[in-house]
Structure 1
Amino acid sequence: MPERDDATSIGSSTIGRRRFLAATGVSVAGISGLAGCLGGAREDPFDDYGPQRSPVEASAVSWDDLGDLEGELVIYSARTSDQIDLLFEKLEDEYDDFTVTVDYDDEGDQLASLLEEGENSPADLFYTQSSGELARLKQEGLARELPDDIVDAVEENYRDSDGQWTGASGRVRAVQYNTDHFDGDDLPEDIFAYAEDERFRDVISTRPNSGTFRSFIVAMIEEEGEERTREWVRAMVDDQNATLYSGGTEQAEAVANGEQEIALGNQYYAGRILENDPDAPIDVTFTRNDPGCLFNVSGIAILEGAQTPNLAAEFTRHILAGEGQEFFVEANGEYPILEGVDYIGDLPTLEEINPLEFDLNKLGDTEHVNDLLREEGML
């Protein structure tokens, strides 16, 4: 399970501030029967699937250019509440007649619920931390084609080539290290070295339960083959005795406070620590042109059975507008995905990193990855 803050429980479906499911007394697993009656109570306030006012653009329009958000939007979120809830609150404060109802859960569990519920799901939108689950949703025929302006605004590398999901913000796999123990210039630029170098034995960690880790493994299989990927996983467990964390924040904090010396994870967790404490003994380095520096996106798909697809589309435009993109940079240390928004964080820019080029639609085979990780003792 991914990390949860104190307001959410681990290991079960947890409900957002509006407590949508709690009010009905129905669990996520049994929710599909409610879809019909919910549809009658929730009307889509917009006339068509196009923009209510101005289209979103790669140059980053403002919320003032977009249409008002009106009505209730039901979101299944695999992003944890500490990462995204402030943005939802900001949008609710901006629009008096807009309500976000959120079900927070692990991305695998959310995807399983959506597959079970099919077009009867009460969710309008799936918001997840890795493109792998979005690719799987598309494969199952549960994602709608997005409006043209949304598709055109986002670079093709950061969205589905068929326009059925889009990235919302980006992150890069990185090597986080404690600066009291290592110099970044002395660390390997090959991800396989981290499973072989004796310097990292007993002091390295990773986070196998996260969607971005599973996507990294899918990319490794695609780039290097399954057998070499199995060898890497096996060596991390058996030879390096890697510590396995369940939360990215906890993992990065362990590096900063010296409990661990090396961590394989997303760059923005270290960025958050440095934002709050520029003198913290943590920094990141990157491998070169291999899956260890995979760029991935958190992203959005509008569901085929959405009750309010037009509201979901206008919401997506707000996420891709300047204010939405700046939130991810300033609050989360993530990378924007629009050309018109600059990254101004404490870590290297994407141009400096030059991450591996990879088709994010190939990241959908997460079930096979889970089996591989179990077989090799990492799950």
Structure 2
Amino acid sequence: MERRDTDGSMGTAMNRRRFLGATAVSIGSLTVAGCMGSSGEDPFDDYGPQAAAVESSAVSWDDLGDLEGELTIYSARSQDQIQPLFDALEERYDDFEIRDDYDDEDDQLVSLLEEGENSPADLYYTQSSGELARVKAEGLARELPEDVIGAVDDNYRDSDGQWTGASGRVRAIQYNTDEFDAEELPDDIFEYAEDERFQDIISTRPNSGTFRSFIIAMIEAEGEEATRDWVSSMVDDQNATLYNSGSQQAEAVANGEQQVALGNQYYAGRIVGNDPDAPIDVTFTNNDPGCLFNVSGVAILDGENKKPNLAAEFTRHVIAAEGQEFFVDTNGEYPVIDGVDYVGELPTLEEINPLEFDLNQLSDLEPANDLLREEGMM
């Protein structure tokens, strides 16, 4: 079993009309009573929108209220996947600053749990719903504004409204098109641990929250014994290569270093978006944990010294049209509102049959961590 500890990131190509427009020019925004003052306080009385409410039909940043003040965000998303959006918002709003703290999801979650309500963070932005569900379970999240809850599809947010997805991804089978056709690849995730064709040519990324969420979904759907057998076979029989970077895992498939990879669909989508001739594509398993739909998303944190209204308005910008188009165009992810379509090179969600799964069940990833460690995958 080979482990790749590389953490490189790939460049992004922002090419959509509204996001480019938002970053290229300074657009006059609405003057709203009660904006953040020099004291850095959050003077609003409630989560109500400063201007227009966000809707599932996708309002524009032009319609939303100003972002003013300083917002502290703990981010467990890769910096290259989210920093361009942060930069665009800071460029648009002269009096807005994001104090970002990047770390992997385990360390960020530990920090939040240790700091509790005294955490300096106003908002938690992470790559998997599991961490959001854990923050909710620990009582650290506030209920989101009603318009945000109403705008995001029920399947993409917490049923109690304490966190929301910002963009979606599906577990997929990435493959090198010079080596395989989609029709040759199984639509059952268990076959990838059993079929000798994949020995020494398959990879996965066990350090990611979405992989461990996939393991929890497998435990829930198929049982611990079957899951343990799958992990053991991937390690001992298939000699799977283990990556620490989703971008480099996908790049290894595209350059022929690996032939098959288990990972999120958007990593392949980013490569094909930049180079339509790249020899990489994805296929999906059918209604099993191998095609688990998950979300990257946000929770507004609870505590006396927080800025919930600024965090709420920031969240509206994330799920407004320009924010959603950023995720589609730059990251190859799926939007979480109806008013923006996925227009990438990969299948739409309507063409996939993902496993139906309550994402709040992913709040405790320790069983996955324990199993992976015991079977030598971590």
TM-score, normalization by structure 1:
0.89
Separation of aligned partners in 2, 1:207 and 1:191? 15
Q: Which position in structure 2 is the counterpart of 1:96?
A: 94
Report the residue type matching 1:131 in the other structure: S
Residue by residue over 1:43-84, the C-alpha shift from the partner in whole angstroms, topping out at 9 and shown as x without a partner, is 115342111111110001111111100000000000011000
Separation of aligned partners in 2, 1:2 and 1:137? 29
SS of alignment partner, residue 266 of structure 2: helix
Separation of aligned partners in 2, 1:311 and 1:45? 9
Q: What are the within-5 Å matches in structure 2 for residues 97-246 of structure 1?
A: 97-246=95-244
Number of positions where the alignment pairs a residue of Structure 1 with one of Structure 2:
347
2:288 is the counterpart of 1:311: no
Report the residue type matching 1:372 in the other structure: L
Q: CA deviation at 1:316?
A: 0.1
Cα distance 1:323–1:2, how it changes in 2: closer, same or farther (>3 A)? farther
Separation of aligned partners in 1, 2:187 and 2:9? 33
Report the residue type matching 2:333 in the other structure: E
Report the residue type matching 2:42 in the other structure: D
Q: Which position in structure 2 is the counterpart of 1:349?
A: 348
Residue by residue over 1:94-132, the C-alpha shift from the partner in whole angstroms, topping out at 9 and shown as x without a partner, is 111100110000001000000000000000000000000
2:253 is the counterpart of 1:255: yes
SS of alignment partner, residue 221 of structure 1: helix
Q: Which position in structure 2 is the counterpart of 1:289?
A: 287
Cα distance 1:5–1:285, how it changes in 2: closer, same or farther (>3 A)? closer
Separation of aligned partners in 1, 2:198 and 2:44? 56
Counting aligned pairs with the same residue, the percent is 76
Q: Which position in structure 1 is the counterpart of 2:23?
A: none
Q: CA deviation at 1:312?
A: 0.1
Q: CA deviation at 1:5?
A: 4.7
Q: Of the candidates 40, 43, 50, which is equivalent to residue 41 of structure 2?
A: 43
CA RMSD of aligned residues (A): 1.5
Q: Are the equivalent residues in 2 in contact too, given 1:58–1:340 (CA < 8 A)?
A: yes
The gaps in structure 1 that reach 5 residues or longer are 7-39
Q: Are the equivalent residues in 2 in contact too, given 1:178–1:281 (CA < 8 A)?
A: yes
Q: Are the equivalent residues in 2 in contact too, given 1:4–1:81 (CA < 8 A)?
A: no
Q: Which position in structure 1 is the counterpart of 2:15?
A: none
2:340 is the counterpart of 1:368: no
Q: Are the equivalent residues in 1 in contact too, given 2:6–2:243 (CA < 8 A)?
A: no
Q: CA deviation at 1:284?
A: 0.3
Q: Are the equivalent residues in 2 in contact too, given 1:158–1:337 (CA < 8 A)?
A: yes
Separation of aligned partners in 1, 2:193 and 2:8? 29
Q: CA deviation at 1:2?
A: 9.1
2:326 is the counterpart of 1:327: yes
Separation of aligned partners in 2, 1:164 and 1:344? 29
Q: CA deviation at 1:357?
A: 1.1
Q: Which position in structure 1 is the counterpart of 2:61?
A: 63
Report the residue type matching 2:85 in the other structure: L
Q: Which runs of 4+ in 1 moved over 3 A?
A: 1-6
Q: Which position in structure 2 is the counterpart of 1:279?
A: 277
